[in-house]
Structure 1
Amino acid sequence: MQEIVLAGGCFWCLDAAYRVVDGVDDVVSGYTGGSVPHPSYELVCTGSTGHAEAVKVVYDEERLPTEVVLDMFFTMHDPRQLNRQGNDIGTQYRSAMFYRDDAERERFEAAIARAGEWWPGEIVTTLEPLGEFYDAEDHHQDFFAKNPTQGYCLAVAAPKVNKIRAGFAEYLRG
């Protein structure tokens, strides 16, 4: 199994979209990239900790190539929006890829270059070394499945899931 840590706005959306993909074993919502140990959701939402809402995607690279996981990431959020996604505004909603080593950083750089071919304008996704990843509170895990009729899920998360279903049909769960 492989793991990558990505941030692209609210973690509920990334979590929901990756969970429909065959080869994804687990998705963990959490916080990384900040300076406060064991931050809470409420503290991260203030924007004062430096953390991003992120997901740790655990997947089987034999069934789901890393390049596809990364291309999905750039499909489900707008990497041209600095420190925001839609109405979610602040550094906690930044577009970021958290690398473990130089090889992973290079894969991330290649994914940004691919995304630049289909996104007009400047991509502002940051590459940051992966520090401590803190799991979000239990009620944030698999939020979309637990709250499918919640307003944010219907208005924001569901369209992102649908983008993955439309663009990556061959990789969906059966």
Structure 2
Amino acid sequence: MKKLLPLFAIALLFSCNNTAQNLSSKKQEIINAKPVEVPLKKGKARAYFASGCFWCVEAVYESVEGVEESISGYSGGWTENPTYEASNTGRTGHAEAVEIIYDPNIVNFATLVDVYFASQNPTQVNGQGPDRGSQYRSIIFYQNAEQKKIIEEKKTALAEKLDAKIAAEIYPFQKFWVAEDYHQNFEKRNPNHPYIKGVSVPRLKRFQSKMPEVLKDDAKH
């Protein structure tokens, strides 16, 4: 039995290495993919961001003037029809993300990127606050070369300002999967939830204090 243990350990090592290589290959395919550009619908544009728990990010963007709606979901991975439970394993490749529906005549993409960085700890890798894991990693999705340039320039400027490495990854947008109904508008519908009171609301308030000039009137009070 003792002789078999080293062989088992070697087999397990190769299995883990192969799994890691496969995941790395899948991730690289996504990063190298051609971005999908989402057309305007009734004059409204869409943008996609991942930055920790989508309950928090949804509330942040819905406080911004020009944002019509923020929808929680999953993006950045390779698994079809991801669920909350599957995403939480970290094996789907997806991160919790939000779809931002906005009026480009009121707020532009560059400002939405500023909101993104101002509403998080930009140096935290694979998570935000108490939420840890690849499903909570920071990703900014671009739909065309212009958006990619905006993201890269702002990320570089922030890195220089903070003299630190910025954790946000930059992905070409592929597809957004809408999360389960109970996740939508979670902060508004569950104001007394311990996570909302202890994590989400404080994060929202920190952001609002940094960028009061972009807030809707009812978010300034």
TM range (shorter): over 0.9
Aligned to 1:48: 91
Paired residue secondary structure (2:167): coil
Candidates 106, 109, 112, aligned match of 2:155: 112
Structure 2 residue 67 is matched with structure 1 residue 38: no
Determine which structure has the larger strand proportion and give its number.
1
2:145 to 81, 84, 102: 102
* Aligned 1:1-174 pairs, distance under 5 A: 1-174=44-217
Structure with the bigger percentage of helix:
2
SS in 2 for 1:26: strand
1:171 CA drift (Å): 2.0
Corresponding residue SS for 2:111: helix
Whether contact under 8 Å (2:109, 2:147) holds in the other structure is no
Q: CA deviation at 1:61?
A: 2.1
- Structure 1: stretches of 5+ with no match in the other structure: none
- How many Å apart are 1:118 and its aligned residue? 4.2
**CA separation in 1, counterparts of 2:144 and 2:108?**
18
Q: SS state of the match for residue 191, structure 2?
A: coil
**Amino-acid identity (%):** 36
Q: Which amino acid aligns with 1:125?
A: A
Q: Distance in 2 between matches of 1:12 and 1:111?
A: 25
Find the structure with the greater CA-based Rg.
2
Q: 2:56 is aligned with what amino acid?
A: C
Q: What CA distance in whole angstroms lies between the structure 1 residues aligned with 2:163 and 2:61?
A: 24
Q: Provide TM-score, normalisation by structure 1.
A: 0.94
C-alpha distance in 1 between matches for 2:102 and 2:52: 21
CA RMSD of aligned residues (A): 1.4
Structure having greater relative contact order (Cα 8 Å, sep ≥ 6): 1
| Aligned structure 1 segments of 4 or more residues deviating by more than 3 angstroms | 117-120
Q: CA deviation at 1:115?
A: 2.5
Cα distance in 1 for partners of 2:163, 2:93 equals 28
Question: Are the aligned partners of 1:81 and 1:124 in contact in 2 as well (CA < 8 Å)?
Answer: yes
1:34/1:52 contact within 8 Å kept: yes
| Offset of residue 41 of structure 1 | 0.3
| Alignment partners' CA distance in 2, 1:119 and 1:146 | 36
